[in-house]
Amino acid sequence: MVKKVTLDGDTIKELHRQENIQWGKDISENYLPEDIFDSLSDDDFEKIAITLDEKMMENNGETEIAAIEEALGFKL
């Protein structure tokens, strides 16, 4: 039996937000010192993910670290 589930717009938006937060964390843990990583909020990780996605869409060769630096506003 197949069960159909319908999600409202707010639920879908929150699922996308959580996905971005996790992606931001996954990318950042490879590049950030632990003390900086631990000090970041979910909003920071979401911003990193969104910025990285924008950089990838531009296809201009920016690396993950450049996206992190831009999202957080400082150089590592």
**Residue 20 domain flag:** yes
**Residue 4 domain flag:** no
- Mean pLDDT rounded to a whole number for the chain: 89
Using CA atoms, how far apart are residues 74 and 37, in angstroms rounded to an integer?
14
Q: Each residue of 27-42: pLDDT tens digit?
A: 999 999 999 999 999 9
**Mean pLDDT confidence for 44-53:** 94
Check residue 61 and give its pLDDT: 53
Domain residue limits at 29? 11-72
pLDDT at 8 over 70: yes
Using CA atoms, how far apart are residues 20 and 25, in angstroms rounded to an integer?
9
What's the total number of domains in the chain?
1
**Residue 29 domain flag:** yes
Check residue 48 and give its pLDDT: 95
Cα radius of gyration rounded to whole Å, the chain:
15
**Residue 6 domain flag:** no
What pTM did the predictor assign? 0.72
pLDDT at 62 over 60: no
Q: How far is CA 63 from CA 7, 11, 20, 27, 43, in A?
A: 34, 31, 17, 11, 20
